[in-house]
Structure 1
Amino acid sequence: MNKLLHMPLIVAGLSLTSAGMAFERNDREAGFYAGASAGYYRINDDDFLDEDDRLKDNRVAWRAYAGFEAGRIFAIEAAYTDFGDTSDGQANMELTGVSGAVLINIPLLEVVAPYGKLGVMSWDRKRSLGPLSNSDSGSDIFYGLGVRFALASNVDMRLEYERYDIDDTDIDMASINLQYRF
């Protein structure tokens, strides 16, 4: 019985030791990176909802980005994202944005690092409904979560989910990213 009580302490100690070794093993020099991504997004805007308040239009977006990694934990990133044209009958929207973000990585293994992302996007949007149209722009905060996988010594793949709140439009995007570290 006494040995069973010590087992959780031993497992916790081994877990902390292996996590510390993973951080030490994954420590790498600071450097720049660049990448591109393709994503699928869902848009929630009053102009694009059907009679049951469900989305009728989902689209593909692309992004080009560059950043600076300060070791395995912290990175800053700038990106250009093109959400393309989204249309539903007479309603049409074009959206692009330039963003800056901070990424916090949690390197678990040599090849896997979950991360969180927080940033600001400056966006330009053009909307039309039949013959009526308007353009606007602004800046809004966005956030995301993802997992980075090391494919080679300088090549990483990221799977990412991001949530943008562009004025009165919510955008949820899942993407796959490929990046090269210099």
Structure 2
Amino acid sequence: MSKTLTAAAIAAVLATPAFAQGWYADVGYQTLGFDEDEIDVDLGAITGHFGYQLNQNFALEGELGVGVKDESFDVLGTDVDVELSYLVGAYVRGQVPVSEQLNLFARVGVVNAELSVEGGGFSESDSETGIGYGAGAEFMFNSTFGIRGDYTRYDIDDAEADAFMIGAVFKY
């Protein structure tokens, strides 16, 4: 009897749709590439998302990124360091479940980021607000754990950045 109950419990967990209504979070590594005035800057961040899936097609999502990889380059013989202090955002996410395991999504929202620049006795830090938009996919191994990959374009003031992220997803 216990083998039957165990098998039934495992089947119920595996049959639960991974994209049902509820809370989710993910965390991963994000690369950000800025191409500003013929200077390429590549930064890295640990980024997480926390959201609520309203139904199978819509979610509200928050984003927090903290810089972990800075960029240094030479400008007229002076070393200049650029770092991402933080990036925060709030998004509306539209999604299409392709199967019970695969979900494709697109998102758009408002973001705020702070960059710091130092070099040659100069130090400046500035935060700006703009928009973020992009698309990605989630693949769920079961109803509570999966992976996420996405592309986001940040258009903040006069700066634009292309970001790619891969991370682990946790559904509650």
TM-score normalised over the length of structure 1: 0.74
Read off the aligned partner of 1:125 and give its amino acid letter. L
Q: Give the corresponding residue for 1:74.
A: 58
What is the RMSD of the two structures over their aligned residues, measured on CA atoms?
2.0
Q: Give the corresponding residue for 1:42.
A: 33
Distance 1:152 1:114 in 2: 16
Q: Give the corresponding residue for 1:58.
A: 42
SS at match of 2:71: strand
Count of residue correspondences: 151
Structure with the greater alpha carbon radius of gyration: 1
Structure 1 residues 27 and 180: CA distance shift in structure 2, 3 A: closer
Structure 1 residues 28 and 97: CA distance shift in structure 2, 3 A: closer
Assess if the C-alpha contact under 8 Å between 2:151 and 2:165 holds in 1: yes
| More helix, by proportion | 1
Distance 1:124 1:107 in 2: 34
Structure 1 residues 178 and 69: CA distance shift in structure 2, 3 A: same
Assess if the C-alpha contact under 8 Å between 2:43 and 2:83 holds in 1: no
| More strand, by proportion | 2
Is 1:101 the equivalent of 2:85?
A: no
Percent identity over the alignment is 26
Distance 1:141 1:123 in 2: 11
SS at match of 1:106: strand
Note the residue ranges of structure 2 that are not aligned, 5 or more in a row.
Answer: 1-15
Distance 1:128 1:140 in 2: 23
Assess if the C-alpha contact under 8 Å between 1:112 and 1:150 holds in 2: yes
Assess if the C-alpha contact under 8 Å between 1:26 and 1:107 holds in 2: no
Assess if the C-alpha contact under 8 Å between 1:94 and 1:126 holds in 2: yes
